[in-house]
Amino acid sequence: MIGEIAFDDLTPGVLAAQFAAGKAAVLVRCPEMISELWQGLMEDDDEQLPWQAPLIDIARNYHGCSDITVSLGDLFYFQPGQHGYIARKIALSRPGVDGALVVRPSFFVQGEEKFSTREQVLNLCWSVGDRLMTAMAPPGAPLNEYCVAVQRLKYQQSANDFDKLDALACNSLGRWGRVGFALDQRRLEAAGPLQRKGVSDFYGMVAHIPGVRSLARGVNRLFSRRDQRSRMLPGHRLIEAAHYDHRYFSALCGQRKNIETHIFVDGAWYNLPITMDTLAILPGSIAAARFGVPHTLHRVVHVGREEEPAEHLPAERRAQNVTLLIGTA
């Protein structure tokens, strides 16, 4: 189900072969390289990360659009059951054979100052992404120009904090925006055949209509009991709904306390180890379309535990529950 390989053994096509053989994910061992990446991206005290920043700096660093998968810069995205993180996302590209590395965005606002990620860190990110990309492509498959995504995703420790951030995001919307927000909450609960595109939207509307919503939710509960994809253990809370990443692959590492990434294999959910010793590789939908590599359904879950008193929490939580993602698209 989960393969493992050393980074030095990443020869062209080796990841493609593992996924073609039925692996849902592959752990690439490279603790020293991850430590170097982490130091450059998470431990540079000159960089103010978005979850440390005032809201106006996040807004100034936002380079987005309606499609979150291609939005860059600093992002604040909280939608119950769909997404729940604060993030910093950059994209690297190298046009032409010997082109210079292009970084988008090239800098981040920090009050009256600007910060740019150090060149040697960006070059390392590109090198890692490029090495994984050649290992993901089957032998003989053409490699067109692609971008390397570098994302730092911050999840909350407390379930209550997720609730408050969800409420804050909803409160910033207008009346019809709030209606859509509530509809999306019901739509994301749809199970079984109600999950189909268009049908889930209809269910989301019906689930708010007095007189019929109880019946609609009752029918959905029946489907939920038979739908393995909707299963959640007691104390678990869905943060990011089951999805395929729209890229060739996602490589994940990080420091997590009560956040888990689950992969769906043979009709059941399994925890994927996200650590500082390995890059957990998940194939995405672009690899499925262009390389014929099976993509992996996954989700992000908050595991409820007894809340720690504030005085027992570490004073510096800059890197707590942070996931580093490197991928290509």
User: Considering only 73-82, 125-134, 298-307, which range has the smallest mean pLDDT?
Assistant: 298-307
pLDDT at 227 (0 to 100): 77
At residue 131, does pLDDT exceed 60?
yes
- Rounded Cα distance between 203 and 183, Å, is 9
State pLDDT tens for residues 202-246.
Answer: 888 888 788 788 888 888 877 777 778 888 899 999 999 999 999
State pLDDT tens for residues 150-176.
Answer: 999 999 999 999 999 998 888 888 888
Does residue 98 or residue 59 have the better pLDDT? 59
pLDDT at 316 (0 to 100): 53
Confidence of residue 313 (pLDDT cuts 50, 70, 90): very low
Confidence of residue 315 (pLDDT cuts 50, 70, 90): very low
Confidence of residue 274 (pLDDT cuts 50, 70, 90): very high
State pLDDT tens for residues 9-24.
Answer: 999 999 999 999 999 9
